[in-house]
Amino acid sequence: MGYTLIEKIIKRNIGADHVKAGQIVTVNVDRVMIHDIFIPFVADKFEEMGFTRLWDPDKVVLIYDHLVPASAVEDIRHFKIGDAFAKKYGLTHVHRSDGICHQLMTEAGYARPGDIVFGTDSHTTTYGCVGCFSSGIGYTEMASILGTGQLWVRVPETIKVVIDGTLPANVSAKDVILTLIGDLRADGATYKALEITGSAVDAMSVASRMTISNMAIEAGAKCCLFRPDEKTAAYSEVELSDVDWLYGDEDAEYARVMEYRAEDLVPVCACPSQVDNIHPVSELVGTELDQVFIGSCTNGRLEDLAAAAKILEGKETACKLIITPASRKIYLEAIEAGYMEILARAGAIITQPGCGLCCGRAGGILTDGEKVLATNNRNFLGRMGTSKVGIYLGSPATAATSAIYGRITMPEV
């Protein structure tokens, strides 16, 4: 019997000849990420546990992204505690408003193919786009890793997802993962690994794979893994020959195999107020919108801004449109490509890279009775304003097209 991709990563990490799903193992952590919301809790717990030094300061990344710029006086306390912790324990990787943590972790090369990475945020599953076992944890687990460099995990069972064929022009990775979440439901992959394969996946960019791995947690997944290829190697700046062991064996034991024909997929939205409440956009056409948001760690990358700019070029928005690039690097690349000028001329409000609106902190929150179509990853009650805001989740193309008309509209490409 062969091994799944997650089993291979864990097996190599712990130096074992064999592992199997359900087994409890202690892994050696390659990198951790802490963001500004959690740093006070991590710092307190770390010292409460009696640790006096980090296991490896170079393997710890502190990122200020959720609370920047500060929207409440209390936010400043998080910055001061984070700065003090970084100085006291010699952190060498601290990012201040450089972008959203999940974008930066792969963009800056912190999370690489075959690594095991944990972060204090549920969407840490994002780094599986490059074949990295990455998952979100709480502040107690993080504190223990900071002191020891290790964490126990249960080897996940794997659901294999095969998507073959060619996606229709108006269907993107966002539609793929929303469709998958709708089929799995919110708990259908709890503590399981998703292994995404197929010819349609092979054709995707690393950025598109990031969209899928980012939202895997919305089905409960422990991680979401893609086999590295030439695009991955170029993005992560590694030799493909060094990571060509990262694939699931054909004779591996899978908990379930789900197969899709890419040509059958259509543009979809997650409707209020659950991420697995999936409906085709064609059923929602005409729904009035007060706001459209394109950004977040799910869809704030260059290809997402390019898709929006292509649709909005020479047009004007009929409702408020907010654009948030996922990182400073992407922001600058979008300026150089001319996308930002197109979006600004169309009437978009362009914000600095960060998490503000997605996590309901700042940058365009809404109030009772308003509706927003957004490209981020959650539409729970109260996520982007009051509990009476209706949040629809869709692709950048659906969002951009809908902004032109001020109502949900089939995406133009």
| Domain-wise residue ranges, the chain | 5-14+22-262, 268-405
Within 8 A by CB and 6+ apart from 340, the residues are: 305, 323, 331, 334, 350
What is the C-alpha separation between 140 and 44, in angstroms, rounded?
Answer: 10
For residue 209, the SS3 value is helix
> What homologous superfamily is domain 5-14+22-262 in, according to CATH?
Aconitase, domain 3 (3.30.499.10)
CB 175 within 8 A of CB 269: no
Type of residue at 186: A
What is the C-alpha separation between 376 and 212, in angstroms, rounded?
Answer: 12
> 24, exposed or middle or buried, with CB in 10 Å at 0-12, 13-18, 19+?
exposed
Residue among 2, 48, 36, 6 nearest 246 (CA):
6
| pLDDT for 354 | 92
What is the C-alpha separation between 38 and 355, in angstroms, rounded?
Answer: 14
| pLDDT for 362 | 81
CB 247 within 8 A of CB 155: no
- Asked if the 268-405 domain carries CATH number 3.40.50.150, the reply is no
Q: What is the torsional sign of CA 20, 122, 111, 197?
A: positive
Residue among 131, 126, 138 nearest 355 (CA):
126
Q: How many Cβ atoms are within 10 Å of 79's Cβ, its own excluded?
A: 17
| pLDDT for 184 | 98
Q: Per the structure block, which two tokens stand in for 155?
A: 């080897």
> 33, exposed or middle or buried, with CB in 10 Å at 0-12, 13-18, 19+?
buried
Site of tokens 């692709």: 395
Cα angle 373, 377, 380 (rounded to 5 degrees) comes to 75
pTM of the model: 0.97
pLDDT tens track, the chain, 413 positions:
899 999 999 999 999 999 999 999 999 999 999 999 999 999 999 999 999 999 999 999 999 999 999 888 999 999 999 999 999 999 999 999 999 999 999 999 999 999 999 999 999 999 999 999 999 999 999 999 999 999 999 999 999 999 999 999 999 999 999 999 999 999 999 999 999 999 999 999 999 999 999 999 999 999 999 999 999 999 999 999 999 999 999 999 999 999 999 999 999 999 999 999 999 999 999 999 999 999 999 999 999 999 999 999 999 999 999 999 999 999 999 999 999 999 999 999 999 999 989 888 888 999 999 999 999 999 999 999 999 999 999 999 999 999 999 999 999 88
Strand segments (E) across 203-354:
223-226, 256-261, 268-270, 278-280, 291-295, 320-324, 349-350
Cα angle 231, 237, 241 (rounded to 5 degrees) comes to 75
Largest CA distance in the chain: 60
> 186, exposed or middle or buried, with CB in 10 Å at 0-12, 13-18, 19+?
middle
| pLDDT for 413 | 83
